[in-house]
A and B are shown apart, each in its own frame.
Chain A
Amino acid sequence: MILLPVLALLLGFVLVYMFKLSVPPDYTDYVAVAILAGLDSVVGGVRGVLDHRFEPIVFVTGFFMNTAVAALLVYAGDRLGVNMYLPAIVALGVRIFYNLGHIRRSLLDRIMHRPLEHPSEAPEGFVAPPSP
């Protein structure tokens, strides 16, 4: 199940790469920002799954809105003479790394603080509090 998104990523890459599609050089900046926004959404989604507050509809709308808006914002910035490329990359980059850190800690938490199945697994000297 975890592998399915990873496989989809590879499949999408191979599909487009096989057909040798490419965007005009003028638009590579916008695609780059869109990719970063998409990556931010996916990383945020994974974090949501681990935090048990993943909402499919929120994720899907967020993914497509964020990619489109990020690219449009940079495009609009170019038209207006304001370089939005760098701020967009910084903002998205900070979020991606923050969420990646959260995911890592969440996963480590699961491995190290695995819930115990039987009293015999309890640490030495552990005394169960009286049940209320």
Chain B
Amino acid sequence: MGEKEVLNSHLRGWRPHLRLKPKDWVVPLTAASLVLGMMLALQFGSQKSAGELAGRPRVELLAQLLAAERKRIKDLDSEIVKLRSEKSKYEKAATEGKQVLTLMNKDNEMYKVALGLTPVVGPGIIVRVDDSTLPHEAGAAADEFLIHDFDLWPIVNDLRSAGAEAVAIGDQRVVGTTAITCVGRVVKVNDAPLSPPYEIKAIGSIKELTGALTIKDGVLDRLKAQRFPVNLEQGENIYIPAVSVGPKVKFAKPTKEAPK
């Protein structure tokens, strides 16, 4: 034993204080760390992109909505041109035979209400449903917390079966050709994207409309069970707008009897 080792022999667990030559371990450890860092970044990137996918509407979806909106504006423009020419036609006819016109007008008004071509006012109810306000648990599908098209269908259906004369979701009149669909996370009515809370208005007998929705285990009960905020309001002067784009008939032709 050398003098130095004797000097240190009182140290418990002491090992010879050799210095390993750094060149032995620096290169392999550095190389391994480099690979480890790359793998970490790889995983980090994938986890993040998975989160982004779930958390935000994708660009494609927004592009789709934009295209749909542009088409709607174009349709509305052509609708205006059409209506103007019709108006002048009627004005010309008015100077010719006033009596016939009054009769026609009366009929016309009734059809316009039924087809949703004119705004209407009357007694009815307003239902508001919103996406769930529950805290979003990790791992739960975001879908379960959103109001979908299939949540709105039964409301509209029940209102109609209770004799609603006019129905609208948001500012979109629900008519015979109306489709209520989901594109990604957006509910579209008459091709117009709506955002929550969804407001469904109906004109009809307040008592019957309210009863149809609030019946036990009815549509509102089912939504409440899923913790969606639901609110029902009654009013004597519910305003329901006209359908924004009138019906287009391209394929169907009127006929008197079924073809043999």
CB of A23 within 8 A of CB of B43, answer yes
CB of A8 within 8 A of CB of B20, answer no
A119 and B9 CA atoms in complex are apart in Å by: 12
Residue A101 at the B interface, CB < 8 A? no
CB of B29 within 8 A of CB of A9, answer no
CB of A12 within 8 A of CB of B36, answer yes
Which residues of A25-78 are within 8 A (CB) of B?
A: 25, 28, 31-32, 34-35, 38-39, 41-42, 45-46, 48-49, 52, 54, 56, 59-60, 63-64, 67
A45 and B33 CA atoms in complex are apart in Å by: 11
Residue B138 at the A interface, CB < 8 A? no
| Given known A5-B26, A128-B6, contact A12–B34 (CB-CB < 8 A) | yes
| Given known A23-B42, A28-B46, contact A115–B17 (CB-CB < 8 A) | yes
Determine the chain A residues whose CB is within 8 A of the CB of B7 once the complex forms: 116, 119, 122, 128
CB of A23 within 8 A of CB of B46, answer yes
Determine the chain B residues whose CB is within 8 A of the CB of A60 once the complex forms: 28, 31-32
Cβ-Cβ contact count across A and B, 8 Å cutoff: 148
List residues of chain A with CB under 8 Å of any chain B CB: 1, 4-6, 8-17, 20-25, 28, 31-32, 34-35, 38-39, 41-42, 45-46, 48-49, 52, 54, 56, 59-60, 63-64, 67, 109, 113, 115-117, 119, 122-123, 126, 128-129, 131-132
* 12 pairs from A and B in contact (CB 8 Å cutoff): A1-B26, A4-B30, A6-B33, A16-B41, A17-B44, A35-B39, A45-B28, A49-B29, A54-B20, A63-B32, A64-B35, A115-B14
